[in-house]
Amino acid sequence: MAGGGRLVFGVSGVRGVVGEGLTPEVAARFASAMGTWCGGGCVVVGRDTRPSGETLRGSVLAGLLATGCDVVDVGICPTPTVQLAVREHGAAGGVVITASHNPGEYNGLKFVSPRGIFLTPEEGIQLREIAEGGAFRGERPGARVREDPQAPGKHLAKVLALSLLDVSRIRAREFRVVLDVGNGAGGAVGIPLLEALGCQARVLNAEPTGVFSRGPEPVPENLAELSREVVGGGADIGFALDPDGDRLSIVTEEGEAIGEEYSLALAADLVLSRAGGGTVVTNLSTSRMVEKVAERWSGRVLRTPVGEVHVSLRMMADHAVVGGEGNGGVILPEAHFGRDGAVGMALVLELLADRGITASAAARGLPRYWMIKRKTPVAEGLVGRLAEVLWPFVAGAEVETSDGIRAAWEDAWLHVRISGTEPVVRVVAEAEDRSRAEALVEEALRLVSQG
Ligand code: MG
């Protein structure tokens, strides 16, 4: 986690501790920069449930109006709802007030381009330069805010209309589902989706207060309550979302939190089986399960640097049939090109209905790997030398250097990169054998800490 007083620049947005790195003034300035970048067109604004979102909303609206933008306010809703609404309204851009999976004291702004995807790194630099330069567009008489309370409903309709879904067959299964929305915004689409799919749904942490009663990231260690509720209630599956509803993770009917990597792998299994193969795009830190699924259906996997927009762009360029990130982010082009927890849930339920299997059987149908993730402070002089430092260690592997260095062997892979948002080196390894994954991580940590 980044230091409290800093404003952190990610690939496509900013975040910080509210009142420290991220003040109302900072939010207004970035909104004016976005309004200027958008040429004073229409901008869609939405937010997650964090209590600080209301104040920041005021700042963002002021910043946009001051630069002559009309605003469509879609209120509290998942990030993918905003991405869809940008396209739906033919808007010049979008702003999502969210700090995603970060703790409650954080908030942030994510910026959406007219294509309904996040700003590219180049566009993000343009925006930052406008924000720091302060040469904003002027006001326009008549610029106004209107609300679009139908945005989550339109998002829901889009998911239900996906050609991959056989809604009546899913409804016939009457799945018992426990959905843990973690006091976030994901319930705005997730809860009606499960109802529309005929599920007997029980919702945990349903109050959209932004006061997180579990760790906001949907990783297994935060899902003990969900596991208990699934087993105790005899449910078929448990779903957990992050606060802005773009990441999904799964608990099987046996109560096992299988981790976020499975969400994309299972979704890809369904999509590729229907498409008869095709291209899957994911980032360099995502599990090899995706490759195994692609092999099963004669598909191929393309890897990108970490960051949703990199995946979105590559999916558009290479006509991917499905994609996403191993952190539980599923992207289905027929819906839109952003990660979407509701799309992920629909695809997983379709998979279970289609194959007549349980969630645990679906998970067992994928090869099991050990994935180990660690981070360490960036040693002095390491920036720009990461590949050089690791090169001797990865000799003989298949090496890729578009985002740090990723080395793949027959039985394992290792990805080492310098974080864009924290002063740390991230090290991820995955192997069929746990000790192999651990050994790769340990050696990489040793080498990078020597710098
Ligand atoms: Mg998120």
Q: What is the mean pLDDT of each run of 10 residues along the chain (451 residues)?
A: 71 93 97 97 98 98 98 98 98 97 96 98 96 96 97 98 98 98 98 98 97 97 98 98 98 98 98 98 98 98 97 98 98 98 98 98 96 94 91 94 96 94 93 97 95 72
Distances (CA, A) of 364 to 256, 259, 262, 346: 12, 13, 10, 20
Question: From ligand 1's centre to the CA of 245, what distance in Å?
Answer: 6
Q: Is the pTM of this model over 0.85?
A: yes
Which uninterrupted H or E stretch holds 224? helix 224-232
The rounded Å distance from CA 331 to ligand 1 centre is 13
Strand partners, 118: 112
How many angstroms does the Cα of residue 82 sit away from the middle of ligand 1?
A: 13
Q: How far is CA 444 from CA 326, 404, 405, 415, in A?
A: 21, 12, 11, 9
Report d(CA 420, CA 258) in Å as an integer: 27
The pLDDT score that the predictor gives to residue 428 is: 98
Copy the structure tokens of residue 195.
């109802």
Ligand 1 centroid from CA 102, angstroms: 9
- How distant, in Å, are the alpha carbons of 269, 270, 302, 312 from that of 276? 10, 10, 17, 21
Distance 246 CA to ligand 1 centre (A): 5
The length of the chain is: 451
CA of 394 to the centre of ligand 1 (A): 33
Question: 200: which strand partners?
Answer: 176
Distance 140 CA to ligand 1 centre (A): 34
Question: For residues 172 and 194, what is the distance between their CA atoms, to the nearest angstrom?
Answer: 13
Distance between CA atoms of residues 74 and 334, nearest Å: 22
User: What are the CA-CA distances from residue 361 to residues 235, 258, 351 (Å)?
Assistant: 15, 12, 11
**Catalytic residue annotation:** 100
Query: Ligand 1 centroid vs 79 CA: distance in angstroms?
Result: 7
How far from chain centre, in Å, is Cα 187? 16
CA of 247 from ligand 1 middle (Å) equals 6
Whole-number Å distance, alpha carbon 249 to ligand 1 midpoint, is 12
Quote the mean pLDDT of the chain.
Answer: 96
Query: What's the CA-to-centroid distance between 329 and ligand 1, angstroms?
Result: 8
The pLDDT value recorded for residue 4 is 53
Q: How far is the CA of 243 from the centre of ligand 1 (A)?
A: 6
